[in-house]
Amino acid sequence: MASRRGQGTSPPMPPGATGVAPNGQASSSRSNSYPQMSLNAMFNAPARISQPHLHPDKLNGALWFSIDPSVNAFIRATWQAYYMGPWKSWRSVPDERRDSWWQTFVQNYYWEQQFNDLVYALWKKETWSSIGERISTKKRKNKQPKYINDKDWTTLLEYWATEEARKKSKKAADSRTSDPEGKGVYTHNAGPTVETGEPPSYTALVRRTHTKKDGTFGDYRAKELVTQAEIEVTQVSNTNSDGSPQSPTATSASSRILLNQAYLKNAKGKRGNVYGLGSAQYREHAPSARVPASLARNLELELRVSGLETSFQTVSADVSAVKADVSAVKEDVATMKNDFAATRAAITELIQSLRPQPPSTQAQDPSTQA
């Protein structure tokens, strides 16, 4: 039977891509052949600037993971076009094949250098998760995918029939449907969301993605984490004038950071992720550090910056008050000068009026009298 792998075909170009010119620049198909140009050369290739741009804030119409479906679709099309072995998951894929998929993505999208770690982390997450989901779906349906040839599919079927594979599969299924506290299986009720302006607090984000249309939580763990974080922040927040506790909100940077820190403290998972945040937890995460530690460090820095901004605003207000006081003093000094000048003029006039007057020149001469 003919191979179903479709070797020699390239993944579809992303929207807006012009392809890479044949003047020494590698193309999408060449990124999956060896030897390859160095990764640094790919990053610095002038042709990349003409490819679709990626930016977490979607500046100037840029694309981003999970928000623009074309990005995730290109990732899936890339690994499916070059799936050349009996690989049951991302961990089974050889390093050189993973590298070639990543190089294909690098050559077909452009992003600023400061986002290199973030883009790689999200690309890797989409790749390994989509591989696992697609292969598992085909396994359950007992349907051979077009991107796996007959020989490799037979090898996979033989592995899945072993006792070891059956035990792993059952353990994973039990974990997905676990209900340790008898309050229901973990659920997620919202798809990708686009954030504008100041980012929401973690508690606000989890409320949005884990509540039903009537506003009630559909996930008991999300409800407990959000409630616990809000209670902790309420206990340390300022009180109203009547002595009642002030409800925490995410309207100010400081309260948002406190809510995020309280939520992060209790939501850390055993596998190095944060429960309930989805792809949002990877926005400011570098692959060199675990997600909770990376987010905690970012929150600490943000809180310090917020404190510095508050201190700067206080100092600015104090300086403005001093300037106002100086202006008032200057006005008082000017008034005093005017008053002193008027007083001096009055004193001068008084002194002149008290001086003796000279005799009148019109007095009659005695020699003229008869």
Q: Which residues neighbour 17 within 8 Å (Cβ) at sequence distance 6 or greater?
A: 51, 52, 108
Write the pLDDT tens digit of every residue in 224-247: 888 888 888 877 665 554 555 554
pLDDT band at residue 368 under the 50/70/90 scheme: low
The least confident of 166-180, 195-209, 260-274, 285-299 is: 285-299
Asked whether 295 and 281 are in contact (CB, 8 A), the reply is yes
Q: Tokens 């009055």, residue?
A: 346
pLDDT band at residue 251 under the 50/70/90 scheme: very low
Asked whether 25 and 47 are in contact (CB, 8 A), the reply is yes
pLDDT at 282 over 70: no
pLDDT at residue 5, rounded to an integer: 40
Instruction: Say if residue 279 is exposed, middle or buried (CB neighbours under 10 Å; 0-12, 13-18, 19+).
Output: middle
Asked whether 252 and 185 are in contact (CB, 8 A), the reply is no
Residue 274: beta bridge partners?
268
pLDDT at residue 9, rounded to an integer: 52
Among 172, 173, 139, CA closest to 158: 139
pLDDT at residue 108, rounded to an integer: 93
Among 187, 250, 171, CA closest to 221: 187
* Crossing angle of the two packed helices 116-141 and 150-160, in degrees rounded to 10: 80
The least confident of 61-75, 87-101, 259-273 is: 259-273
The least confident of 47-56, 73-82, 147-156, 258-267 is: 258-267
The arithmetic mean of pLDDT across residues 46-70, rounded, is: 90
Give the number of other CB atoms < 10 A from CB of residue 165: 15
pLDDT at 369 over 60: no
Q: What is the mean pLDDT of the chain?
A: 74
Q: What is the residue type of 154?
A: T
CA 251 to chain CA centroid, Å, is: 17
> Which ranges of 109-162 would DSSP assign to H, the alpha helix?
116-141, 150-160
Flag whether the pTM goes above 0.75.
Answer: no
pLDDT at residue 1, rounded to an integer: 42
Compute CA distances 98 → 25, 267, 285, 334, whole Å.
Answer: 20, 31, 21, 79
